[in-house]
Amino acid sequence: MFLTRWQKRLYLKKLNRWSISLSSCDCTRTHSTINHESVLPTQAQVVICGTGVVANSLAYHLVENGWSDIVLIDQGKPCGGTSHFGSGTLGLFKPVAERNIIMYSIKLYRQLEAKGYDIGLKQCGSLNLAQTKDRMIALKRRIAYSSPTGLHCEMLGKNELKRLHPFLNTDDLEGGVWVPEDGVADPQAICKSLAKLASEGGAHYVTNCHIQKVVTEEDRIKGVHTSRGFIHCEYFVNCAGMWAREVGNLCSPKVRVPVYPAEHFYVTTSPLPGIGVDLPCIRDFDSHIYAREYNSGFLVGGFEKIAKPAFLNMKLIPPDWKKDMPSDWTHFMPYWEKAMSRIPILKDAVYPTLANSPDTITPNGKWILGETPEIDNYFVAVGMNGNPLQGAGGIGKAMAEWIIEGKPTQEHLAFDVQRFLDLHNNRMYLQERTKEVVGRHYSIPYPHQNEYKNARKLRCSPLFSVLEKRGAVFGTRMGYERPLYFDTTYNGKGSPPEMPPGTFYKPKFFDFMLEEYHACRESVGIIDMSSFSKMKIQGKQDMNDDTESQCNGVVDWLQSLCTNDVNIPVGGIVHTGMLNERGGYENDCLLVRERENCYLMVSPTSQQTRVLDWLKDHLPKDESIQLADITSMYTVVNIIGPKAGALISELSQTDVDINVQPFTYKTVNIGYASDVMMMAFTHTGEPGFCLYIPSEYALHVYDRLITVGFDYGIRDVGSLTQRFMRIEKFIPFWAEDLTRDTTPFEAGCNHVVKLDKEYFIGKFALQRQKDQGITKRLVMFILDDLDPDKDIWSWGLEPIYRNGKFVGTVTSAGYGFTMEKLVCLAYIRRPFTDNRNRNHMVITNDYILSPTAKYEIDIAGTRFPVTPKIHTPCVNINMQKVSDDSQYVPKVISQIPRN
């Protein structure tokens, strides 16, 4: 990052830049003055709040698509906010979804340069360093999944690193990754260039204008009140950067935009001898610093382990905010010392200058994009987490296409604004989380062992304190505390147990998980699953409406949304998907029919905001259907194992083996508690029952289960064990195996699709797939030759090869307790060919299971043979008889909703 006053001279023009050929190139063009004024039009199709690099990219792409009725409003002047700060680095060594957006950004910036804009673009490459063996594993894992998907990256030793960067101290390094396509550019120059092009295309810039209120009508954008008057608009886009949360509060209902600025420190040096413009960027992850050449010297910044949230003692970001960003050498000195150790020539810098500028941080360090759930046509594109330049080009394109098409044109589930709840927008929460998120940019991403420590214990099951005393180690999902596993060595005294240091090998707590699994298979396991999203769907209660009409309305509406037949008897349960027009998943859920005109919908935890908004978007206009989020009303526990039926029968005084059929529920008493919904399914694929307990009864019911269950061998079980069990049962998982771009046929969920129904969203797409064949298929792979006690585990994202050619990427992975082997799920396609056509790309069972096919998985650079399966492997289940006269054995289901 650097301030405008240090921008005395841009990088040498057209030195060591990307080559590009365009049919028309105006090489005489420079970034001249942007057309802007203080007069506010009375109406516009799109109003964009902000004129930073993301906002200007969006305006540019709207203009490129023929939309010119666009107004950008800024409280200052164009490009005058925080967009002119930034390291200017362009890094592609990212997960695929993020990398695709950054790749387009680089492509766009190449085009700007080819048109003659002096934007300081140069392809200098980057070196990503490792000081520890674990960091090397993390980098090798990233190389493994990056290389076959199109990124050139390679692991280098100390001598090779030194050759590429002669000023680098490599004595304490294990190695590093060279990414030659990475580069740098001037954020301010790109911001102004995009603004000029947008302005030339018809976008109207209004400066020194403050937004006072965003006006809605029937939860849809109507217009904007500003300090210069009112403007009607059809779309509003919040690109306000660190002010985005405050702008989100300027409407009714308020819009959640959980971002908060962190102080970001960086040092710029005077020119140093021998420093050339072709030096690669340095990312020293273990030192939490980065460095790049800047004006023949260096720019060095850090992502501190404990960062400083900005403006802590202020309710709002002050108008003269730059005065409240003081330098703090005491805070940054440890990182500057690490930088001087890594690049010793920095010790020769005369009067290095420390600057402090704000970075906009999100609760999990990922961008926030998309249409908000609160207001239709209100879009958000914020939360660049320290580097707005990287994503700006691709984000602008993606958001423009979403506005124009009315739906996203590419997968961005990880960045969706609908991944948040109100708790994420709490200012105190954001301040605490920001301290930690900054440093996690450079922390080692240990899978399932890298939980946040700050801003915890917000959403807790009524059982939280009891489970904590029983040794639960918690993780969070949607802010909900969920037991990951139970440390049975904890006696309830002293500090609760914490997760041990992470690893890419067998988890250090694996033995606890193994005990939990055996309880589920041999006796009784109990899992707190309360975090699941729960929605009530029912017909509007109206004395003038007859019951039959209400019933038909609810059923007909759900039938139009669901792939399965939901017209089941009262007391029945059905597993179904809800799709988009392309046949991709929007929701994977259970529907429980409580009454003729009332259903309970159970969805994955992460769907709580998103699926409710999706359902609301499809509600009939006559308001005949009512939706209610009742997630917190019920505490949910799974009772799993061959003795589960006997335990529930004793506590409920009901012979559940006879009276409760698979995929049905019955309301029973448990102990002294009434109205407990006992459902004959589990969330693990194992036999057992799921209890939906009114939350006020939760402690009592849990106490009864544990006390009476002692004689049955009952044991607490965590969500990580549950996860491994569902993978072994070949059960796909929402947001990993099931996304908006995967269909039920591709995921092997044919059984939840009823194409003989008259209509449901996505039916025609599925019918085409059935007729033409699918081009990808979810396959289970068993790692027969991997030693779980010695080798690095598969954790997800690893590439799969068929006869030496890349065919897919692992979506979920875990340990198969029954098979005693690692298991993973991955979508398989045919390898790319130049003469590709659909008939040649169809995936069949014969192709997957061909005896000539040799499959391998690349785990951190080592390939292991794997065996494909298209169905759950046969596993001997120890179904212990619960009584001599038992008639019913709970059914092991093949699909359940994901948390």
Write down the residue that tokens 């448990």 correspond to.
670
Both ends of the chain: CA-CA distance in Å? Answer: 39
Write down the residue that tokens 């759950």 correspond to.
872
Distance CA 538, CA 551 (A): 8
Distance CA 858, CA 826 (A): 13
β-pairing verdict for 524-528 and 714-717: parallel
3-state secondary structure 384-409: CCCCHHHHHHHHHHHHHHHHHHCCCC
pLDDT of residue 547: 57
Helix or strand run (H / E) with residue 586? strand 585-595
Burial code of 837-846, b = ≥16 C-beta within 10 A, e = fewer?
eeeebbbeee
- Eight-state DSSP code of residue 835: T
- State both tokens at 673: 């508690």
What is the signed CA dihedral for 312, 313, 315, 318, rounded to 10 degrees?
A: -90
- State both tokens at 432: 């605490």
Whether the Cβ atoms of residue 368 and residue 384 lie closer than 8 Å to each other: no
Whether the Cβ atoms of residue 563 and residue 589 lie closer than 8 Å to each other: no
Query: What letter represents residue 485's amino acid?
Result: Y
Of residues 369, 395, 401, 377, the one with CA closest to residue 67: 401
Helix or strand run (H / E) with residue 611? helix 610-617
Distance CA 371, CA 565 (A): 30
Distance CA 377, CA 44 (A): 13
Distance CA 324, CA 317 (A): 9
Gyration radius of the chain over CA positions = 28
Residue 664 CA: distances (Å) to CA of 366, 373, 679, 701, 749 = 40, 33, 6, 21, 20
Report residue 584: phi and psi, to 5°: -80, 155
Exposure of 521 by Cβ count < 10 A (0-12 exposed, 13-18 middle, 19+ buried)?
Answer: buried
Whether the Cβ atoms of residue 80 and residue 188 lie closer than 8 Å to each other: no
pLDDT of residue 511: 98
Report residue 325: phi and psi, to 5°: -120, 70
Distance CA 417, CA 375 (A): 12
Report residue 633: phi and psi, to 5°: -75, -25
Distance CA 262, CA 308 (A): 6
Q: Residues near 378 by Cβ (< 8 Å), separated by ≥ 6?
A: 214, 216, 221, 235, 236, 238, 251, 255, 371, 372
Of residues 38, 94, 382, 364, the one with CA closest to residue 226: 38
Distance CA 235, CA 334 (A): 46
Number of DSSP helices (H) and strands (E) in the chain, helices first: 20, 39
- In terms of DSSP H, where are the helices of 21-95? 53-64
pLDDT of residue 584: 97
- State both tokens at 269: 């040096």
Report residue 133: phi and psi, to 5°: -65, -40
pLDDT of residue 81: 76
Whether the Cβ atoms of residue 121 and residue 183 lie closer than 8 Å to each other: yes
Q: What is the pTM of this model?
A: 0.92
Q: Residues near 603 by Cβ (< 8 Å), separated by ≥ 6?
A: 532, 533, 534, 535, 587, 588, 589, 611, 734, 897
- Eight-state DSSP code of residue 10: P
**Which stretches in the chain have pLDDT values below 70?**
1-33, 83-84, 541-551, 658, 833-839, 875-899
Helix 719-728 and helix 510-522, axial crossing angle in degrees, nearest 10: 60
